[in-house]
Structure formats: C-alpha cells, structure tokens
Structure 1
Amino acid sequence: MPDMLETGRRILADQPFSALLGTELTRFDNQGAELRLALRNEHRQQHGFAHGGVVSYLADNALTFAGGSVLGDAVTLEMKINYIRPAVGQVLVARAEVVSAGKMQAVCRCDVFAVKDGEERLCAAAQGTIFPVRGG
C-alpha cells in the first residue's frame, strides 16, 4: 500500500493553483491533514497580512485532504470559515481533522494558524462537508 503522505503530495502537486501558491502537505494520515504555505508578498492584501482568499483556500484544501483520508478522492461540498484575527507572519499552517464520516460525506474542521517568529496564532476556523468523487 502506498504511503498516504507521498500519495497526498502527488495529488497536491497535480493542483496547478496549489503549485502556484507554493503549498506543502506536511501531514496526511487517517487522523487528518496539515498544509503549510510560506507567505510571499503576492499572498498579502493592502494591509500587509495574508489575503482572506489565501487563508480560505488553505482551509478548504486541508478540509478536503482530511475528508479524502476516509473517503478517497473527494471534493468540498460546502465550507464555512470564521476569520479570527489578521494572518500576520511568515507561514500559514492549516490543520484539519474528520469530525464525522459516512459513505457519502465527511464533516471536517480546520484551524488555520499564522506563524510569526516561531509562534503560532489562530487566525481562522473552518468547517466543511466533503463529498467523494466516484468514477473520476
């Protein structure tokens, strides 16, 4: 059986948008997933912190990886995000886990942290429903 983390990294590499942003998959197992993104100027909005779309993208992708850990190939059916504080720092980290899973969907949650000078601060919390893709 192939290593889940390596399989996940191949899937992430096949996502042109994720490659453009520079996203890394650092954990992928049956407990969930972790994505990291080193922030560049292109990821920031006019006030200097990470754009909300970048934070939301990271949560969405982490939620889908977490759901995919129990469903296989999957997509996000719906997602809700709460922005808690501006994402200020050098890196964003999204950690997602499965809350509940059945055959047709998984409900997952994700916390997104901004890392500044080695210290993590929660900047967003998300929840989503993940749906399996059947037959490609």
Structure 2
Amino acid sequence: MGDHADPVLAHGRAVLASQPFSVLVGAELAALSADGHAELRLPLRQDLQQQHGFLHGGVVSYLADNALTYAGGAAMAVPVVTSEYKINYLRPAIGDLLIARAECVSRGRQQAVARCDVFVRKDGEEKLCAVAQGTIARLGEGS
C-alpha cells in the first residue's frame, strides 16, 4: 500500500505542512500509524548548527517533541499538544539526516505517554544521539 493510500499518514503530513516552524526547518513525516508509531526526518543543514558545528540542540529537541506528539496523537486519535517532555542528549548530531522514531507506550482518554529515540545518520550509518519521553495531552474544549 502506498503512502497516499494511508489516511493516517496523509493527515499527519497535512498537519506538518500547516506548522510554519516545521516547514522552515524542512521536517518530513516519514511514517505514522494509528497504533502510535511515528518517524520524523530532518535533513541537516549548516544554518541549523550551533557554533561547534553540531546540529543545534533546540532542533534535535524540536524533532523529538514533534515525534512524541505524533505518536501520542495517532494513538489517541484526537487533537493533542505536548504537555511535557524530557530529553537526554547522548552525542553531537553531526551528519546528513536526523531521524526521530517515537512510540506511544501508554494511552488514556485525556493523555498518552510516548518515548522517542533520535538518530543521526552519517555515511549511511545511524547512531543514537538523543532519547526523550513525554506526556501528550488531549486538546480540550475552548483550547
């Protein structure tokens, strides 16, 4: 089945396209499933680096945050926002592609908990560069 036939992925990509910051940095939604799995990708560019030549931690954090929210939102099947998250940086992100793979580990009516591994790809090899966990909250009436 192609990506265009998958309504969950198609909806997720439409949401990503409506996020100005995601468009600015060039994020791509590579995978999304109703069981709470998400994969976001971000081609690394020089203008996203900090002074030491690493991808800026805020960009790594953004990708993890968004992947967590996609995973929790897909599992809950309602509009959501990130309530909180924590990230641990394990190594500098130096390479050509950042990949955030998230999964929902617990889902209720009002919130979900998701975890995310962030990898950096360099010369075809992926290395874990950050791990994150977050709480994803259902958007309430009037939010």
Deviations 1:99-126 (A, max 9, x none): 1111110000000000001100000000
Q: How does 1:1-136 map to 2 (within 5 A)?
A: 3-29=7-33, 30-71=35-76, 72-135=78-141
C-alpha contact (below 8 Å) 2:36/2:70 kept by paired residues: no
In structure 1, C-alpha distance between the alignment counterparts of 2:6 and 2:106, rounded to whole Å: 25
Partner secondary structure for residue 70 of structure 2: helix
Structure 1 residues not aligned, in runs of 5+: none
Q: Which amino acid aligns with 1:3?
A: P
Q: Which amino acid aligns with 2:133?
A: Q
Q: TM-score, normalised by structure 1?
A: 0.96
C-alpha contact (below 8 Å) 2:36/2:72 kept by paired residues: no
Q: TM-score, normalised by structure 2?
A: 0.91
RMSD: 1.4
Q: Which amino acid aligns with 2:41?
A: R
Structure 1 residue 40: Cα displacement = 0.6
Structure 1 residue 31: Cα displacement = 3.5
Deviations 1:29-81 (A, max 9, x none): 02310000001111111111110000000000000000001222110000000
Percent identity, please.
60
Paired residues, what number?
A: 136
Q: Pick closer, same or farther for the CA change 1:2–1:134 going to 2, 3 Å.
A: farther
Partner secondary structure for residue 50 of structure 1: coil
In structure 1, C-alpha distance between the alignment counterparts of 2:45 and 2:97, rounded to whole Å: 9
Which stretches of structure 1, 4 residues or longer, exceed 6 Å deviation after superposition? none
Partner secondary structure for residue 86 of structure 1: coil
